[in-house]
Amino acid sequence: MNADPTILLTALGQELLARLAAEPDSGGLALAVRLRREYPADLVAAATAQHELRLAARAKFSRAADMLFTRSGYEQSSSEPIARYRAERFGDARRVADLCCGIGGDLLALAPGREALAVDRDEVHAQLALHNASVYGETENVRALVADVRDVNLADLDAVFIDPARRSGPGAASAGSGTASAGLGTASARPHAASSRAGTASAGSGAASSRAAAAAAGSGAASSRAAAASARGMSGSPGTAQRFRAGLSEPPLDWCFALADRVPAVCVKAAPGLPLDLLPDGWEVEFIADGRDLKEAVLWSPALATAPPADSGAPRRATVITGTGPRTLVAYPGDPVPVTEPGEYLLDPNPAVTRAGLVEDLARALGSGAGVGRDDSGCVDHSGCVDHSGCVDHSDGVGHSDGVDHSDGVGHSDGVGHSDGVAKIDPRIAFLTLDWPAQTPFARTLRVLDSAPWNEKRFAKRLRELGIGAADIRRRGLAGDVDQIHRRLKLAGPNRGTIVITRVNDKPWGLICTDPGSTQHGENEPAKRH
């Protein structure tokens, strides 16, 4: 149970937080004892817990040291780089609402330059959202409302962002701090009329919750699609099937989609395991990864959808947040990508690319030199490049793709991608192979030292010859316990490597790889073929 952090908004609370921040050993017992002599015990407990949350939150927010969190609110919050990237796609929308605002991870990015209404039925979260927005200098333009989002008047808004709470099963509690109550004093001037149901909407129980359960189990196209998808389970997001079962968000996804009937532009944040057939016509799905960590699926209503349609189904986009900003990949139509045995380099696509079903598009974009790594004259890092069908570097956060116009001359003028020199190693496995060391934000490049049909004894011997004593094993498309294989290989030696156990043309296959940036094994050693 979280201690209520709003007591820390008092002068005494702020003083205590400042003292903890200045302490080298803020978690020490002696300090806690000393502080409890000077301050009320509940304040010390809340401040100590808050201090720990702030330290953890540095991973997500540049101003974490001044923000306030509940534990659940922090865990569910969007990170600042992703929130800022998404907020840019709202373009010139001036009046926006952040529905289900939580502690305001998205609000702080949506608010600059806009009039923003933040709504949460959890009073503590609404209050923390206001506080956190003010930490980022957003005060006059931000209003908060304690209400069930279903009861909010959305008239006059240009756009709505909604990040519904994920539910783990029918009747599961929503993720708030469980303290929803009557209205929020700080949200006096409300730009949009709304009837606050706070007080009747206690988190995870009561009317709102039963409506959510009913909607999740309800009839209608979206619900039956959800039920069907739910029965199939979620591929592509191991371990998350239960958590991300379709329809089990609060409010449910079909309610979120219907917002587009009331507001010109809508963006819904969802779990990355979302079945794509749930998406209404004309909506774009964008998978966002922070580095190689797949974080979310973002669903853009037609007014905000800018990706071109992909091979099958909805317009799709894969976006990777890198150290130098977001990079985005959209469909790159063209010839089918051939299948060959692995060559000198193996590309392991980013999970956002794989999940978006854009692996072949990446192959074509690379093969066409479309700025994703063949020769960096392309759009890897130039700010004006927002019009590539295969690779969009969006310093403005917006990708526009017509599949044709490569204004900087990279790619093919006919807009048709040819995967020259880039192939798949199997029709169904998401690895690509090529003979040059591609540098792309959309995949990890590995140099192949050895490649042969998988035979554990042979590979154990070869690994010893190469002096590989530490290895990361990646298994894809084959069964087998990675830890047991690791033990049986009895690795020894000073070098590091990556062992890939997969299928090549449907045959069990092994590869020993190294990072091409590494100087181990001699950079120029050619790939040894079986």
CB of 219 to ligand SAM, least distance (A): 21
CB of 82 to ligand SAM, least distance (A): 9
Residues 119-158 binding ligand SAM (CB under 6 A) are 119-122, 125, 148-149
CB of 190 to ligand SAM, least distance (A): 15
CB of 122 to ligand SAM, least distance (A): 4
Q: Is beta strand 284-290 parallel, antiparallel or unpaired with respect to 316-322?
A: parallel
C-alpha 116, offset from chain centre: 23
Cβ proximity to ligand SAM: between 251 and 308 the closer is 251
CB of 78 to ligand SAM, least distance (A): 4
CB of 32 to ligand SAM, least distance (A): 29
Residues comprising the chain, all counted: 530
CB of 391 to ligand SAM, least distance (A): 28
Residues in binding contact with ligand SAM, number by CB under 6 A: 26
Cβ proximity to ligand SAM: between 6 and 451 the closer is 6
Which single residue brings its beta carbon nearest to ligand SAM? 105
Integer CA distances (angstroms), 69 to 1, 8, 77, 186, 268, in order = 13, 11, 10, 17, 23
Q: Which residue has the tokens 């449907």?
A: 506
Q: Is beta strand 392-393 parallel, antiparallel or unpaired with respect to 249-250?
A: unpaired
Edge-first strand order for the sheet with 284-290 is 142-146, 115-120, 95-99, 159-162, 265-270, 293-300, 284-290, 316-322, 325-330, 392-393
**Do 363 and 419 form a contact (C-beta atoms < 8 A)?**
yes
Closest CA to 516 of 291, 346, 366: 346
* 174 binds ligand SAM per the rule CB under 6 A: yes
Cβ proximity to ligand SAM: between 176 and 342 the closer is 176
Cβ proximity to ligand SAM: between 163 and 360 the closer is 163
Residues 250-289 binding ligand SAM (CB under 6 A) are 250-251
* 295 binds ligand SAM per the rule CB under 6 A: no
Closest CA to 288 of 85, 451, 106: 85
Q: Which residue has the tokens 């949350």?
A: 53
Residues 309-368 binding ligand SAM (CB under 6 A) are none
Burial class from Cβ neighbours inside 10 Å (0-12, 13-18, 19+) for residue 454 reads buried
Cβ proximity to ligand SAM: between 72 and 389 the closer is 72
CB of 228 to ligand SAM, least distance (A): 25
CB of 272 to ligand SAM, least distance (A): 14
List Cβ neighbours of 37 (8 Å cut-off, separation of 6 or more).
none
**DSSP codes of every residue in 395-449:** TTS-----SS--TTS-S-TTS-B--TT-EESSSSS--EEESS----TTEEEEEEE
Cβ proximity to ligand SAM: between 288 and 468 the closer is 288
Q: What's at 115, amino acid-wise? A: E
Residues 477-506 binding ligand SAM (CB under 6 A) are none
Of 38-46, 98-106, 506-514, 516-524, the segment contacting ligand SAM by CB under 6 A is 98-106
With helix as H, strand as E and coil as C, how does 263-309 read? CCEEEEEECCCCCHHHCCCCCEEEEEEECCEEEEEEEECCCCCCCCE
* 103 binds ligand SAM per the rule CB under 6 A: yes
Binding mask 76-95 for ligand SAM (x = CB under 6 A): xxx-----------------
The 8-class DSSP code of residue 357 comes to T
C-alpha 146, offset from chain centre: 27
CB of 152 to ligand SAM, least distance (A): 8
Cβ proximity to ligand SAM: between 267 and 434 the closer is 267
Q: Which residue has the tokens 């069990």?
A: 508
Q: Under the rule (CB under 6 A), what is the footprint of ligand SAM?
A: 76-78, 100-106, 119-122, 125, 148-149, 163, 165, 174-176, 203, 208, 250-251
